[in-house]
Amino acid sequence: MISGRVFGGRIFDIQRREKVILPCVIAFIVAMTLLAFSETLGMFILVAVIAAAGHAFLVPSLFAYVLDLVGPSRDRRSGG
């Protein structure tokens, strides 16, 4: 997951956030499907690698996407 976060910064600079989110969600779907059919240690390790890679790219891209949607921050509590 740590190496995914390191390389993820470069990918976010090159690609749009929307293009990163969909493959990460697909990685989670694949990981959970494999988990349902896993019986060996190797399969569990493969599921962990796929899920960690999906999580390492998905969470920062979602945070950045939400911050892009919100726009510049304003103090909304002061009423002005």
What H or E segment, with its residue span, contains residue 68? Answer: helix 41-70
Q: Scan for tokens 């494999």, then name that residue.
A: 34
6: domain range?
2-70
Question: What are 30-77's pLDDT values in tens digits?
Answer: 999 999 999 999 999 999 999 988 888 888 888 878 877 887 766 555
**Residue 6 placed within a domain:** yes
CA separation for the pair 2, 49 (Å, rounded): 12
The single-letter code of the amino acid at 28 is F
CA separation for the pair 29, 35 (Å, rounded): 10
DSSP 16: -
**Residue 20 placed within a domain:** yes
pTM here is: 0.69
Asked whether the predicted pLDDT for residue 1 surpasses 90, the reply is no
Looking at the chain, the number of H-run helices and the number of E-run strands are: 3, 0
**Residue 39 placed within a domain:** yes
pLDDT value at residue 43: 95
**Residue 80 placed within a domain:** no
Question: What are 10-30's pLDDT values in tens digits?
Answer: 666 676 767 778 888 899 899
Look up residue 78 and give its two tokens: 């002061």
Domains of the chain: total? 1
